[in-house]
Amino acid sequence: MKWLRFRQGGTVRFGVLAGDRVQAYTGDMFGANQPSGEEFAVDAIEWLTPSGPSKMIGLWNNFRAAAEKNGNAIPAEPLYFIKGANSYCAHKQPVIAPKSYDGRVIYEGELAVVIGRTATAVSVEQAPAHIFGYSCANDVTALELLNRDASFAQWTRAKSFDTFGVFGPVIDTAFDPAGGELVTLLNGRERQRYPFADMIFSPAQLVSLISHDMTLAPGDVILCGTSLGAMPMKPGSTVEVVIEGVGKLFNEYRAAP
């Protein structure tokens, strides 16, 4: 099933995408729920992020091909950061260039893991039962902030500007990433194509290892990291992150108003 959150008639709802229609549900997306009997055309809704995470965790250096090309050692454990909740941005919403930063901003097409059950110190074998499903993501980054100050790497600031935590449009509960791949298009031109089999730490390993550091709550998102091809965007650019079997995440990068 492809779950989504949306706004219709001024009310925030959730439901299931079925072709070009949305079937509304009541209850809890991650718990007891049932169809409401209402149905809306996709064109009649406002897309929201498919969950409202208490935290979004992003991976760095989690693909072998990128590690090899960039000269990075294979990490012994997941290397991760957290993006601020203010950064969350949905399908078809604009990504806005920061006013306080005038350097390069890059896209990073990624697979997003969405947690469905509270996970604290779970094993790798237990982890799949705590994964609700998968989504598309764009881990937007103010590249030149990361190491601008030699005394302190600014991962939080570089990753957490408003609208920099893009994910959606849906959470697919049946997707198996083992044989999947991701494609990122910049202005309609393919810039990234990489297989999820190249991950250093699989989704199940990420959920397990991170859950030993912090409790993961339903709706929380883990971004699995990106591979080769992440590049700067100019205002007016469009970015599409495509995962066959999950969907297509579309956003326009705009200058600050």
Q: What is the pLDDT of residues 170-224, one digit of tens each?
A: 999 999 999 999 999 999 999 999 999 999 999 999 999 999 999 999 999 999 9
Closest CA to 207 of 224, 227, 226, 195: 224
pLDDT the model gives residue 148: 95
What are the structural domain ranges in the chain? 1-47, 49-254
pLDDT the model gives residue 243: 98
CA angle, corner 175, sides to 252 and 74, nearest 5? 80
- Per-residue tokens: 7: 């706004």
What 35-43 contacts at long range (C-beta under 8 Å, 24+ apart), as own/partner pairs, is 40/6, 40/8, 42/17
Place of tokens 């302190």: 152
Residue 178, exposed/middle/buried by CB under 10 A (0-12, 13-18, 19+)? exposed
In the structure, what pLDDT confidence band is assigned to residue 89 with cuts at 50, 70 and 90? very high
Which amino acid is residue 126, in one-letter code?
Q
Please determine whether the domains at 1-47 and 49-254 fall in the same fold group of CATH: no
Fold held by 49-254: Fumarylacetoacetate hydrolase; domain 2 (3.90.850)
Q: Tell me what percent of the residues of the chain surpass a pLDDT of 70.
A: 100
Q: Are 224 and 199 in contact (CB under 8 A)?
A: yes
Fold held by 1-47: SH3 type barrels. (2.30.30)
What are φ and ψ of residue 74, in 5° steps? -70, 120
Question: What's the CA dihedral at 212, 182, 197, 220 to 10 degrees?
Answer: 10
- Per-residue tokens: 108: 């990073």
Q: What is the mean pLDDT of the chain?
A: 97
- Per-residue tokens: 195: 């297989």
Kindly state the average pLDDT of the residues 81-106. Answer: 97
pLDDT the model gives residue 223: 98
CA angle, corner 186, sides to 184 and 191, nearest 5? 50
Q: Are 126 and 207 in contact (CB under 8 A)?
A: no
pLDDT the model gives residue 178: 94
What is the DSSP annotation of the chain?
-EEEEEEETTEEEEEEEETTEEEEEEE-TTSSEEEEEEEEEGGGSEE--SS--S-EEEEES-BHHHHHHHTPPPPSS-EEEEE-GGGEE-TTPPEE--TT--S-EE--EEEEEEE-S-BSS--TTTGGGGEEEEEEEEE-EEGGGTTSSTTS--HHHHH-STT-EEEEEEEESS--GGG-EEEEEETTEEEEEEEGGGBSS-HHHHHHHHHTTS-B-TT-EEE----TT--B--TT-EEEEEETTTEEEEEEEE---
pLDDT the model gives residue 120: 98
